[in-house]
Amino acid sequence: MKRSRQRNREHAFRRHLNPLNWLLRHAQMSLSSLGRLAQNPLSTGMTAAVIGIAIALPAGLYLLVDNMRTLTGSWDGGSSISLFLQQSLSDAQADQVRDVIALRDDVAEARLISRQEALAEFRLRSGFGEALDLLEHNPLPAVILVKPARVASAPAATGRLADTLGRYREIDMVRVDLQWVRRLEAISRTLERGILVLAGMLAAAVLLIVGNTIRLEIQHRQPEIEVIKLVGGTDGFIRRPFLYEGLWYGLLGGLIALLLVMLGLALMQGPVQRLAGLYQSGFSLEMFRSGVFTAILLGSPLLGLAGAWLAVGRHLARIQPE
For 193-203, write each residue's pLDDT tens digit. Answer: 999 999 999 99
Which SS3 state, helix, strand or coil, does residue 86 take? coil
DSSP code for 176: -
What local confidence, expressed as pLDDT, does residue 204 receive?
Answer: 93
Quick one: three-class SS letters along 179-228?
A: HHHHHHHHHHHHHHHHHHHHHHHHHHHHHHHHHHHHHHHHHHCHHHHHHH
pLDDT digits (tens, 9 = 90+) for 264-319: 888 888 887 787 776 666 777 777 665 788 888 899 999 999 999 988 887 777 76
Nearest-angstrom CA–CA distance, 216 and 315? 10
pLDDT digits (tens, 9 = 90+) for 5-40: 545 544 544 444 466 676 777 677 778 788 888 888
* Virtual torsion, Cα 131, 132, 136, 142, nearest 10 deg: 160
What local confidence, expressed as pLDDT, does residue 12 receive?
Answer: 47
The length of the chain, given as a count of residues: 322
Evaluate the CA torsion angle 270, 276, 282, 287 in order and state its sign. Answer: negative
Nearest-angstrom CA–CA distance, 305 and 322? 30
pLDDT digits (tens, 9 = 90+) for 126-148: 555 555 555 666 667 888 888 88
Q: Does residue 260 or residue 26 have the better pLDDT? A: 260
Query: How many other CB atoms sit within 10 Å of the CB of residue 251?
Result: 19
Q: Does residue 158 or residue 118 have the better pLDDT? A: 158
Angle between helices 41-78 and 179-220 (to 10 degrees): 170
Q: Are strands 107-113 and 143-148 parallel, antiparallel or unpaired?
A: antiparallel
What are the b/e assignments for 181-219, b being 16+ CB within 10 Å? beebbeeeeebbeebeeebeebbebbbebbbebbbebbe
Q: How confident is the model at residue 124 (pLDDT cuts 50, 70, 90)?
A: low
Nearest-angstrom CA–CA distance, 64 and 200? 18
Q: Does residue 181 or residue 247 have the better pLDDT? A: 247
CATH class for the region spanning 80-175: alpha beta
pTM of the complete model: 0.67
Is the confidence at residue 219, as pLDDT, over 90? Answer: no
**Could you give the percent of the chain with pLDDT greater than 70?**
77
pLDDT digits (tens, 9 = 90+) for 164-194: 888 888 888 888 766 666 777 788 889 889 9
Query: How many other CB atoms sit within 10 Å of the CB of residue 94?
Result: 22
**Inter-residue contact 52 to 254 (CB < 8 Å):** yes
Q: What is the mean pLDDT of residues 64-68?
A: 81
Contact residues for 166 (Cβ-Cβ < 8 A; gap 6+): 83, 173, 174
Mean pLDDT, the chain, rounded, equals 79
Domain boundaries, the chain: 28-74+183-318, 80-175
What local confidence, expressed as pLDDT, does residue 16 receive?
Answer: 45
**Inter-residue contact 94 to 82 (CB < 8 Å):** no
